[in-house]
């Protein structure tokens, strides 16, 4: 009995493995990412995570006609779904004003070259920690 290779299932396997490895790398190599669950990103300076943060700022600037400048990512978590959801707290400046924190959510499907800013809001000055808390 010969086993036939199904190219669609083979491609799907490669895509899922790639997504899980990227999430693991962004989390500092942490093993055991839970599919569907939010996991903290421990390596906030990972180039792929920084690219997602800069994308969020750029997209917000286009939509809101603002000129925020990316500073750094101060907190983050990711969720493996049909792609990867990123929830990031991003520090950004508007001109010469001091940096403010923003909570951004981005849905990324790298194998389709698809990336979408799904949410972006400023964290309030009074309750920065509460406003930028992640809620599952």
Domain ranges in the chain are 39-130
Q: What is the value of pTM for the model shown? A: 0.71
* Residue pLDDT, tens place only, 33-79: 556 789 999 999 999 999 999 999 999 999 999 999 999 999 999 99
pLDDT for res 22: 58
- Band of the pLDDT at 132, cuts 50, 70, 90? confident
pLDDT of residue 79: 94
Token pair of 78, please?
A: 């990711």
Given a contact cutoff of 8 angstroms between Cβ atoms, the answer to whether 87 and 105 are in contact is: yes
Query: Left, alpha or beta for 14 (phi > 0: left; psi -120 to 50: alpha)?
Result: alpha
- Quick one: average pLDDT of 81-94? 95
CA 51 to chain centroid, in Å, comes to 9
Asked if the 39-130 domain carries CATH number 3.30.230.10, the reply is no
* Mean pLDDT, the chain, whole residue set: 81
Torsion, CA 109, CA 120, CA 124, CA 41, rounded to 10: 10
Q: In the beta sheet, which residues pair with residue 106? A: 86, 117
Residue 30's pLDDT is what? Answer: 46
pLDDT of residue 128: 47
For residue 41, give every residue at least 6 positions away whose Cβ sits within 8 Å of its Cβ, in sequence order, or none: 26, 27, 28, 49, 76, 77, 78, 86, 88
Model confidence at 117: pLDDT above 60:
yes
């Amino acid at each position: 009995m010969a086993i036939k290779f199904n190219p669609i299932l083979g491609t799907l396997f490669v895509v899922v493995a790639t997504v899980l490895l990227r999430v693991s790398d962004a989390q500092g190599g942490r093993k055991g990412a839970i599919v569907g669950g939010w996991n903290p990103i421990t390596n906030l300076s990972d180039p792929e995570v920084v690219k997602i943060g800069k994308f969020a700022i750029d997209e917000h600037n286009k939509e809101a006609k603002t000129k925020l400048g990316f500073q750094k990512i101060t907190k983050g978590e990711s969720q493996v779904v049909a792609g990867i959801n990123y929830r990031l707290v991003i520090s950004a400046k508007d001109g010469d004003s001091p940096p403010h924190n923003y909570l951004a959510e981005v849905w990324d499907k790298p194998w389709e070259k698809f990336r979408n800013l799904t949410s972006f809001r400023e964290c309030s000055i009074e309750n920065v920690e509460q406003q930028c808390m992640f809620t599952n």
